[in-house]
């Protein structure tokens, strides 16, 4: 119980209220008893969180810290989420912005199986961003999706992932679709000498996730797209830890944690740090200027946390996407540098020359800049 | 593709913006392509959601409906969440308030294993609410928690659940703690002729959940407390479907979906309907007047949806809690009627006469009213 874990929050003011909020969180997340509960000294001193400094942030908001015994998080992502934002999630205006943990906490996590360097080795790509696309629209035939993926590979694309809306009614449909697209990409790679990866969307009943993942890997594909907010963060951690596959994390359903910026979890902590902790080799997020309300600073912060030193964990590659246009290359290069995945979906697929020309156009734009 | 599923949202106005939002959701959640993407007619007519009526709600907010092919939800909770609130979760101000599905969608769900009637049969209790408490504070010894649980059982309590903050560092600790508390409650039941249930908190690494649940059931206990927002909703559905246990759902970490009422998911849909769909026999929520910002109307709506007809699914019992006092009995009876679980934690445990007297006091208050 000697090591400490510090959770950092933003809460509503004034200062006296912020202080009360920190104390409430410290109690709520550990012993959850009324403040006048007769706690034994060993629990009051050894278990209850300690409310730390209160710092004004402007706009009536304050930053507070709560310091917990690190052992209460048990080196587990689910336990950490429960400790730092279990009941605290129920309070309006409370936002978890960061957690500072001891090195021992990180030792329980393997993080990304491949990470930035591993992905570059798999793809044989150095010194430039990776180019990804999303296979869509939903409702397309397997043959149409396969043709788009193959064309993207021929055009020099690195990663063709299923759109997260692509779901299969049965394991049989999943196998048939994944095989068809996987074969098409393999054939395109064989013809071009390329190494484009196809990452199918791993979804479906929880009972089948492992079998579906095994099918993907036995088929010769290297990884999958997952939606951790839907599957459960520890479920993704479990899958990633059990199989040396590439995991690309999509933010579907996680927006409730940060769409309102005055509550929930800081985008860079959720989409950067937490996704990396559970093993995301690539973390997808909505780029500024696309269809979602992310600011350039927020996007840079996500990328920063995906790649910054974090114990022995490999860096994740940030993948800005969500309505990216073909002429965004200079901005993408400036904002994210070479260690990023440019995720261009609809606009690449609807290039007048098709997905092959779309991929080629972006690779050329990339070459002119980076 | 003939059956339809209708998702109902609240979005920001004015009306023209609300209409645009509905159209954006209809596209985003199905095909996720730019509005000018050349969609084949079969996809445009058969896959893309259809934006429906826009109704003003006051306060600059509007209610919109989006009508999807029901097959896109695949009769799966994860697929439903992705369809109705996957990328839509990323838009500020968008709140999912309801989903109307065809009867066929519900046929894939078993719902609560026991439900209201099954719990009453297990406990031999008719015509009055059930009384539950939370074992705490964290940091107490196994013996202390066991003593509190046994005292609660002697006092006439029905359900002693672990506090959701009670976690165990290892499977060994879990077994030792659960055995100790389980034995104490069994002994108290044997002496009193009571049937008090002990529900341990099922948490820990995802790899061990099943084995921990099996241990609980083999030990002779009837069920567990789970935090579905942490474990994953479909993971809880899977566990509940695979074993005929009692599942009590706790809202930890789910607050981000509704702490800000202008975004996320309607409390009654999340805590009432969704929890029941995944198999919660009991759904815990913060009662009005406690430590959290729920209104009486919201709490009644959660209880209503937990118990209202829903295909062939058994009703869940609503469990208002979160800072309940001993003198709340008249309000609890008035707001929730007999088909509810009164969850009284800290104030029951700190009764001057101990948990036995605390349980007895509430059972007496209950008897005088219901």
Percent of chain B with pLDDT over 70: 99
pLDDT of residue A289: 85
Q: Residue B292: pLDDT band by 50, 70, 90 thresholds?
A: confident
pLDDT at A370: 62
| pTM greater than 0.90 | yes
- Closest residue of chain A to B77, computed from CA coordinates: A205
Average pLDDT of B259-287?
A: 96
**So what's the pLDDT on residue A322?**
83
Q: Which of residues 235-264 of B touch A (CB under 8 A)?
A: 235, 237-238, 251-257, 259-260, 262-264
Q: Nearest chain A residue to B45 by CA: give it.
A: A139
Please report the pLDDT score of residue B137 as a whole number.
95
Q: From the list A94, A137, A259, which residue is nearest B31 (CB)? A: A137
Q: Chain B contact for A225, CB < 8 A?
A: no
pLDDT tens-digit series, residues A195-253:
999 999 999 999 999 999 999 999 999 999 999 999 999 999 999 999 999 999 999 99
Q: What's the mean pLDDT in B343-355?
A: 94
DSSP assignment of A285-315, as one string?
EEPTTSSS---HHHHHHHHHHHHS-BTBPPP
* Distance (Å) from the alpha carbon of A17 to chain B's nearest alpha carbon: 14
Give the pLDDT band (50/70/90) at residue A9: very high
Residue B64 has pLDDT above 80, yes or no: yes
B167 touches chain A (CB under 8 A): yes
Which one, of B246, B235, B177, B241, lies nearest residue B208 by Cα? B235
Burial class (CB in 10 A: 0-12, 13-18, 19+), A127: exposed
In this predicted model, what pLDDT tens digit does every residue of A103-162 receive, in sequence order? 999 999 999 999 999 999 999 999 999 999 999 999 999 999 999 999 999 999 999 999
Please report residues of A whose CB lies closer than 8 A to that of B134.
32
**Closest chain B CA to residue A76:** B205
* B106 touching A (Cβ < 8 Å): no
Q: Identify from B17, B73, B84, B90 which residue to disrupt to test chain A contact, counting A C-beta atoms within 10 A and taking the largest count.
A: B90
Alpha helix (H) residue ranges in chain A? 15-28, 41-46, 77-85, 103-106, 115-123, 142-154, 171-192, 209-218, 228-231, 233-242, 267, 275-277, 296-307, 329-336, 346-349, 354-369
Work out the pLDDT band at A369, boundaries 50, 70, 90.
Answer: confident
Q: pLDDT tens digit string along A174-202?
A: 999 999 999 999 999 999 999 999 999 99
pLDDT at position B370 is: 62
Q: Mean pLDDT, to the nearest integer, of A39-60?
A: 96
Chain A residues lying within 8 Å of B109, measured CB to CB: none
Predicted confidence (pLDDT) at residue B1 exceeds the cutoff of 60: no
Question: Nearest to residue A370, comparing CAs of A326, A340, A350?
Answer: A340
Specify the CATH number of the domain B115-369. 3.20.20.110
User: For residue range A26-45, what is the model confidence (pLDDT) as tens digits?
Assistant: 999 999 998 889 999 999 99
Q: What is the pLDDT of residue A35?
A: 84
Cis before A137? omega within 30: yes
Query: Which superfamily does CATH assign the domain made up of B4-106 to?
Result: RuBisCO large subunit, N-terminal domain (3.30.70.150)
Q: Does B172 touch chain A if contact means CB atoms closer than 8 Å?
A: no
Rounded CA separation B329/B332 (Å) = 5
Number of CB pairs < 8 Å for A and B? 276
Asked if A238 and B79 come within 8 Å (Cβ–Cβ), the reply is no
User: Out of A163, A264, A286, whose CB is closest to B256?
Assistant: A264
Nearest to A139 among B31, B251, B293 (CB): B31
- What share of chain B in percent tops pLDDT 90? 92
Q: Could you report the predicted ipTM of this complex, rounded to two decimals?
A: 0.96
Mean pLDDT of B138-152: 97
Task: Write down the domain spans for chain A.
Answer: 4-106, 115-369
Torsion-angle region of residue B224: left (phi > 0), alpha (psi -120 to 50) or beta? Answer: beta
Give residue-wise pLDDT tens across range A312-341.
999 999 999 987 777 888 999 999 999 999
Using DSSP's 3-state secondary structure scheme, residue B196 falls into coil
What pLDDT shows up at residue B368?
87
CB–CB of A82 and B165 under 8 A? Answer: yes
Give B31→chain A minimum CA distance, Å: 4
Whether pLDDT at A1 is above 80: no
Say if B207 is an interface residue toward chain A (CB within 8 Å).
yes
Q: Does B28 touch chain A (CB under 8 A)?
A: yes
- CB A28, CB A87: distance < 8 Å: yes
Indicate the pLDDT class of residue A279, thresholds 50, 70 and 90.
very high
């Amino acid at each position: 119980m000697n090591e400490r874990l510090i959770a950092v929050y933003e809460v509503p003011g004034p200062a006296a209220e912020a202080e009360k909020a920190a104390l409430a969180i410290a109690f709520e997340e550990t012993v959850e008893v009324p403040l006048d509960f007769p706690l034994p000294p060993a629990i009051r001193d050894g278990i209850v969180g300690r409310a730390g400094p209160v710092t004004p942030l402007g706009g009536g908001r304050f930053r507070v810290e709560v310091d917990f015994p690190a052992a209460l998080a048990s080196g587990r992502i689910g336990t950490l989420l429960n400790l730092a934002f279990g009941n605290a999630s129920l309070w309006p205006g409370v936002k978890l912005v960061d957690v500072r943990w001891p090195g021992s906490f990180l030792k329980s996590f393997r993080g990304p199986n491949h990470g930035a360097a591993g992905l570059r080795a798999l793809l044989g790509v150095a010194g430039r961003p990776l180019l990804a696309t999303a296979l869509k629209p939903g409702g397309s035939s397997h043959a149409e999706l396969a043709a788009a993926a193959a064309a993207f590979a021929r055009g020099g694309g690195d990663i063709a992932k299923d759109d997260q809306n692509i779901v299969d009614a049965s394991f049989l449909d999943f196998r048939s679709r994944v095989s068809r697209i996987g074969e098409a990409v393999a054939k395109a790679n064989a013809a071009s000498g390329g190494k484009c990866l196809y990452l199918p969307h791993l979804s479906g009943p929880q009972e089948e996730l492992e079998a579906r993942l095994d099918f993907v890997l036995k088929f010769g594909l290297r990884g999958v797209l997952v939606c951790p907010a839907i599957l459960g963060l520890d479920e993704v951690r479990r899958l990633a830890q059990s199989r040396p596959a590439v995991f690309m994390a999509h933010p579907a359903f996680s927006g409730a944690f940060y769409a309102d910026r005055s509550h929930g979890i800081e985008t860079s902590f959720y989409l950067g740090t937490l996704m990396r902790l559970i093993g995301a080799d690539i973390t997808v997020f909505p780029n500024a200027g696309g269809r979602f309300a992310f600011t350039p600073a927020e996007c840079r912060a996500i990328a920063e946390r995906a790649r910054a030193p974090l114990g022995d964990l490999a860096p994740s590659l940030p993948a800005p996407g969500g309505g990216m246009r073909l002429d965004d290359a200079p901005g993408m290069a400036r904002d994210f540098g070479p260690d990023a995945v440019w995720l261009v979906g609809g606009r690449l697929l609807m290039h007048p020359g098709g997905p092959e020309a779309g991929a080629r156009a972006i690779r050329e734009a990339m070459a002119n800049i980076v």
